[in-house]
Amino acid sequence: MILQAAALSVLLCLVHSFTIQGPFEKSEEYSGNTIEDDEFSVSTLLEKANVNVGKNLDEPLVMFGDIAVPTGLQNADPCTARGCLWPKATDGNVYVPFRIANAFSQRERSTIIAGLQSFAESTCIRFTPFNRQRDFVDIMSLSGCFSFVGRRGRGQTVSLSRRGCVFRQIIQHELLHALGFNHEQTRSDRDQNVRILLENVMRGTESNFRRIQTRNLGTPYDYNSVMHYGRFAFSRNRRPTIIPIPDENVSIGRATEMSPIDILRVNRLYRCNSTASRPDLKPVQRNHFL
């Protein structure tokens, strides 16, 4: 009996030791650089959801992963210098009308509205329900996740497919496109911050990694941006397509929501603090804005 008790005691100690040490051993070996770690990155979610994008002729032309472009236009360079920002009201806020299609369930609609509302928590952007305004964001469930860059005029499509797009980070990502922002890895200074390995990129998707003359607004390159693709974005061989430099082990593309620098850029682009703090201005009346 004593022998059995002693054996049981030793066994319990061994189990307890294994249970406690296991996670620490895993964390020491864990690098965060495997393709499995990017399963829920923005770029992986977009890549999976956008498999059928471009197959429906009645949908916008989509290029560069998830950017809708007018038919005949061969690129989607930043348009903010051409006046595609959403207008600012006299109270310093920017009211962006939106309409959500009936195709979404109540739960999906709530998730989308929470994503819209998140902008009001830290910026002067206020998404307000459509009320016959000329220009508005028309949120629909089409063949994938995509958006135009900046204000296009009239009802402009933001597609959040019910099959893979109704996530907070994807909602914010597409709405940031609609506000005028491009992908982080396309920044004009990206070559000083990441290496693009085109030899690992799926043929036909190289345009996702083009470099363009972006307006960086005096902000640093942001590995944590919700607009940054993951390490294995559009990989054809399970090898990295984007590697941060000089430290290759820095995590990229893992954002689950807008980063502080994403928020700073919105506030700088729309000059959110230029009039909102003036005591002589009262908030513009809007019905049920978010």
Give binding residues as ranges.
173, 177, 183
- Pair of tokens at residue 72: 């005949």
Q: Within 10 A of 103 (CB to CB), how many other CB atoms are there?
A: 13
Instruction: Please confirm, yes or no, whether 174 is among the known catalytic residues.
Output: yes
Cβ(208)–Cβ(236) below 8 Å: no
- Pair of tokens at residue 210: 């083009």
Give binding residues for Zn(2+) as ranges.
173, 177, 183
Residue-by-residue DSSP string for the chain: -HHHHHHHHHHHHHHHHHHHHHHHHHHHH--S-SGGGGTTSHHHHHHHHTTTTT--TTSPEEETTTEEE-TT-------GGGT-SPPBPTTS-EEEEEEE-TTS-HHHHHHHHHHHHGGGGTSSEEEEE-SS-SSEEEEE--SSEEE-SS--SSEEEEEE-TTTT-SHHHHHHHHHHHHT---GGGSTTGGGTEEE-GGGBPTT-GGGG-------TT----TT-TTPPPTTTTBSSSS-SEEESS-TTS--S--SS--HHHHHHHHHHTTTTTTTT-TTPPPPP-TT--
Q: Determine which one of 28, 39, 59, 174 is catalytic.
A: 174
Which residue from 214, 232, 237, 202 is spatially nearest to 149, judged by alpha carbons?
214
The rounded distance, in Å, linking the Cα atoms of 227 and 172 is: 9
Which residue from 47, 30, 65 is spatially nearest to 185, judged by alpha carbons?
65
Catalytic residues: 174
